[in-house]
Structure 1
Amino acid sequence: MQLLADQDWHDMKDERWNAYGQATYISSWKPAFPAQYTNLNGTPHSLLPNAERSFTGTVTAYFGLKAWQGSEIYLAPEMISELPLSDLKGLGGSIQNFELQKSGSVSATWYKSRFYLKQTISMGGDSHHVVSGPLQLAGNADSRRLVITGGNLSILDIFDKNSYAADLRQQFLNMAFLTNAAYDFAADARGYSVGLAAEYYFDDWTFRLGRFATPQNPNDLPLDFRIFKYYGDQVEIEHRHRLFTQPGAVRLLAYRNHERMGRWDDAIAAYQANPAQNAANCTSFNYDSANSSAPDLCWVRKANVKMGIGINLEQQLFDDVGVFLRGMVSDGKTEVYSYTSADRSLSFGSLIGGDRWGRHYDALGIAYASSWISAGHAEYLRLGGVDGFIGDGNLRYRPEQVVDIYYKLRLLPSAWMTLDYQHIANPAYNADRGPVDVYGVRAHFEF
């Protein structure tokens, strides 16, 4: 019996394997809102002005295995069922539910969200304990180490993390708070990719870089594995600190995508030179616009570069109060390829723990986000063009803005319910439409 105790089948302090799971259901409802026009001249990407209901349901399993010294293998099969507002059209940088996918349907769809290998090479420094969790085996890690991760995963598993605005199954619901809205990170229509990343930890500093595959077509599911021809590169520098004894972090992130995408000015110029090169006449990949008087990106897609740089701040103020801020500027010359329709973005907010009113596991969050598009992007939309998510047929440009307020209530040790309210001004950057109110309920279970 002593031999069995010495060789415990699962040591929670130094795991050889673990298994976790989650289930999340989000229901959203928007009442009718004012709009001077909708889908003008056959342009199909307006948020419908009538009352609508939306939902998502996801189930994910997380499996981790320690294969050899310093190596960890992770697998995460996932299921989604969804019904978006207006077929996921009409919102730019502030899509109301981060779980929504371009390829989803009401019928349950199973897929492999993650399957990757992580290799850690220790280089000394102080040792600290790593707690067990989804996609994380418990053990010890040195403060100086090199971590190499390769396989099928989300770029956001590694880059642009934030303690107060990243885990949207427990935090804010709006996609503007998942990452920088202007961060057009390489991903398929579900938000995942295949690639390789390296992280070098040196005490309070971390340096990250990675290259990942991009979709074959914008906002589409199949990836293009010609990773030396079309790719998404990113580099991030992080510094962790203490300010008046409270922890915080500063992160600088830059990305550069090389993809087969269209430029706004090229699409406009092609249409002006030959009106037959309009949206309705497209025969290659486009967004099914019937507007024969509008330019379209399908005529001008070729190898182009998109770049952006952003900052990500988090700071704990008290034991149960923290704040965050993100901001990013992308060059705004080319179409949105993988993420939201935004060329510049800013978000900030605060999370307050329930200790202040005697509910330790509850939380209150309030945040604001604003997104902008470039002059070329705005002119393309004003002329009736569409991108992956937006296009009303005309445009009176204003920045798109959202306020997201939620209260998370712990019902059981592994179950939470969240009430959420969002107010979205100038949906799709159009002052002729909106504002839009969205009311949400989220049920989240962990096991």
Structure 2
Amino acid sequence: MRSRRAADYVVCLVLGGGCALYSTPAAAQPVPPAPHDEEAFDVMKELSRRGLHDIHDESWNLYGQYTFITSYKPPISAPYTNVNGSPNSLWPQAERGFTSTFTLFGGIRLWRGAEAYVVPELIAERAFSTLHGLGGSTENFELQKTGSEAPTLYRSRLFLQQTIGLGGGRIEKTSDPMQLAATVDSRRLVLTVGNFSALDIFDRNGVIGDLRQTFFNEAFMTHASWDFPASARGYTYGATAELYLGDWAVRIGRLAPPANPNDYPIDARLWKYYGDQIEIEHDHVLFKRPGAVRVLAYRNHENLGRFDDAIAAVDADPKKNAAACTSYNYGSGNFRAPDFCWVRRPQVKVGVGVNVEQSIGDGIGAFARAMYSDGRTEVDAFDSADRDFSAGVVAHGSLWQRPLDVTGVAFAATWISGAHARYMARGGIDAFTGDGRLDHAAPEELFEVFYSLNLLKALWLSGDYQFLAHPAYNADRGPEHVISGRFHAEF
């Protein structure tokens, strides 16, 4: 904790403030902001139009957003719920949920190639079933692990970024949230250090863009089975390096995990517990259309429990059950179930995935993601999933004379490993899933369609429908239908 706060103070001194936004553990998922559309309204362009700001070579910028999402699910079919004191089922009754987020993105240039960013955020929420009962398909990507209906203010990001030119042609970076406009070398090294999200650096997808304008479900935010290090807020501390060489890019990073799985405090001892990430990207042109392929691999060294070890522990000694846990646990009252609390120790978790985006027509893009994680240990910081696949199509309204509208349709599926399924069949739970029994395991499958209507160049109203089969990998429960609406504003 001391090292983390010390890092905060150093960056805050450089920024000249911004450190007062510590608060109780609550936060939205770490959605990276999308570039602003040239036709949309924002304050920086208005200042530039009035001659008060150089929007092509910025020394500072400030952007903001507000998003409200409301969701409804009708009752679901559920022959059983929360068996034997296991608390993580999706509730069978009808439910309504919401999120409300307000975010500011501030950036300042410090010296040549150096930039600093601070991002405060305000959130309030109500989740379905207290955010339990779904593995890799949470219906609203903004939902947090420890939020409340009372608005909570916190600082999501505070980091330094240094760009080192290495030659090649010159390219223009536009003015956007968390990006100062500048002209940089096409060959360059970008170093980032501080408090940020892994999603700010890795696994971006230009077709999907910012989920505040496109899909609602978290399955399309990133790989569901990528267990990237993060606190309960979705952010972490660490350092990354990005090397851009024309059509190629390589990104590496070491990030700090939570002190306990899916908890808020971060363990900043990066020499002891850490998540190492590497991503290789290649941009291409296929049939005269731009696209990109990214391969992401991770290796986490964290204090985790293994599924098979937890089962073996309760089999060898029935007193080592979920209800008897006295160390960090997920609150199960099941006296027969295994639990990770008895078997946590330093473990290695690995996974590899691919991320593809491709333009397939004017204003139309397709995307796909797939990842395979080893599935031997509990989830440390993200979704309860060991494998995932998603694919879809996004179309922009330029095709029907509404250039700022956007619509899309997509499918996603997540799986759990055999060891994970055995653990849940015995009544085991993790941070999000566990009905107390699992007689028939099945992939969690999702279909989603949305339309986002632009108003006045800075406002978007969106409607969304989701169909989700086999919630929490349980073929005996569900399906779930979710109908949602969204109001989104940018400035």
User: Runs of 4+ in structure 1 displaced over 3 angstroms?
Assistant: none
Q: How many residues align?
A: 441
Instruction: Find out whether 1:429 has 2:487 as its counterpart.
Output: no
**1:75 aligned partner:** 118
Instruction: Give how far 1:36 is off.
Output: 1.0
Shift of 1:357: 2.1
Does residue 381 in structure 1 map to residue 413 in structure 2?
Answer: no
Residue matched to 2:160: 117
Q: Is the 8 A contact 2:207 2:358 kept in 1?
A: no
Contact 1:166 1:177 (C-alpha < 8 Å) held by counterparts: no
Q: Deviations over 1:416-444 (max 9, x none)?
A: 01101000000000001000000110110
Distance 2:422 2:208 in 1: 32
Between the aligned partners of 1:192 and 1:171, the Cα distance in structure 2 is 22
Q: What residue is the counterpart of 1:443 in the other structure?
A: 487
Query: Separation in 2 of the partners of 1:124 and 1:135?
Result: 24
Measured in 2, the distance between the counterparts of 1:97 and 1:414 equals: 22
Residue from 230, 233, 241 that aligns with 2:284: 241
Distance of 2:361 and 2:173 partners within structure 1 = 23
1:282 aligns with 2:325: yes
SS state of the match for residue 201, structure 1? strand
Q: CA deviation at 1:356?
A: 2.2
Matched, 1:87 2:130: yes
The answer to whether the 8 Å contact 1:146/1:201 transfers is: yes
Q: Per-residue deviation at 1:246?
A: 1.1
Whether the 8 Å contact between 2:303 and 2:346 is mirrored in structure 1 is yes
Q: Which amino acid in 2 is paired with 1:199? A: E
Three-state SS of the structure 2 residue aligned to 1:156 is: helix
2:412 paired residue among 343, 352, 369: 369
Q: CA deviation at 1:166?
A: 4.5
Once the 2 structures are TM-superposed, how far is the Cα of residue 355 of structure 1 from its aligned partner?
2.1
Distance 1:203 1:375 in 2: 42
Matches within 5 A, 1:4-403: 10-395=53-438, 396-403=440-447
Alignment partner for residue 410 of structure 1, among 444, 449, 454? 454
Identity %: 55
Whether 1:419 and 2:484 are equivalent positions in the alignment is no
Please give the secondary structure, in 2, of the residue aligned with 1:67: strand
**Aligned with 1:106: secondary structure?**
coil
Contact 1:164 1:171 in 2 (8 A): no
For residues 210 and 409 of structure 1, what CA distance do their matches in structure 2 show?
37
**Matched AA of 1:50:** Q
For the residues of structure 1 that align with 2:207 and 2:136, how far apart are their CA atoms?
Answer: 19
| Contact 2:88–2:429, Cα closer than 8 Å, also in 1 | yes
**Structure 1: which amino acid aligns with 2:423?**
Y
TM-score under structure 2 length normalisation: 0.89
C-alpha distance in 1 between matches for 2:288 and 2:186: 19
2 CA distance for matches of 1:340 and 1:29? 21
Offset of 1:10 from its aligned partner?
2.3
Q: Is the 8 A contact 1:193 1:212 kept in 2?
A: yes
Say whether the 8 Å CA contact 2:63–2:177 is kept in structure 1.
yes
1:286 match: secondary structure: coil
State whether residues 329 and 340 of structure 2, in contact with CA within 8 Å, keep that contact through their aligned partners in structure 1: yes
Whether the 8 Å contact between 2:230 and 2:257 is mirrored in structure 1 is yes
State how far apart, in whole Å, the 2-side matches of 1:142 and 1:353 are.
30
**Distance in 2 between residues matched to 1:54 and 1:287, nearest whole Å:** 23
Give the aligned residue type for 1:421.
Y
Give the Å deviation of 1:351: 0.2
In the alignment, the residues of structure 2 paired with residue 307 and residue 336 of structure 1 have an alpha-carbon distance, to the nearest angstrom, of: 12
1:162 CA displacement: 0.1
**1:164, distance to aligned residue in structure 2 (A):** 2.0
Structure in which a larger fraction of residues adopt strand? 1
Q: Is the partner of 1:404 in helix, strand or coil? A: strand
Question: What residue ranges of structure 1 are gaps of 5+ in the alignment?
Answer: none
Mapped to 2, the partners of 1:81 and 1:166 lie a distance apart of: 23
Q: Offset at 1:360?
A: 1.3
Give the aligned residue type for 2:451. Y
Matched AA of 1:426: H
Displacement after TM superposition at 1:171 (Å): 1.2
Query: How far is the alpha carbon of 1:341 from its aligned partner?
Result: 0.5
Alpha-carbon distance between aligned partners in 1 of 2:398 and 2:64, rounded to the nearest angstrom: 27
Per-residue CA deviations over 1:157-190 (Å, capped at 9, x if unaligned) read: 0000001235111111101000000100000011
SS of alignment partner, residue 376 of structure 1: helix
Q: 1: distance between equivalents of 2:77 and 2:401?
A: 41
**Distance in 1 of aligned mates of 2:174 and 2:268:** 35
Contact 2:414 2:444 in 1 (8 A): yes
- Hey, what's the Cα distance between the residues in 1 that align with 2:183 and 2:146? 39
Contact 2:362/2:399, CA 8 A, preserved across alignment: no
Q: Secondary structure at the match of 2:454?
A: strand
Separation of aligned partners in 1, 2:135 and 2:209:
19
The CA RMSD over aligned residues, in Å, is 1.0
Cα distance in 2, alignment partners of residues 348 and 115 from structure 1: 33
For 2:209 and 2:394, how far apart are their aligned partners in 1?
12
Query: Does the 8 A contact of 1:10 with 1:17 survive in 2?
Result: no
Decide whether the 8 Å contact of 1:425 with 1:435 is kept in 2.
Answer: yes
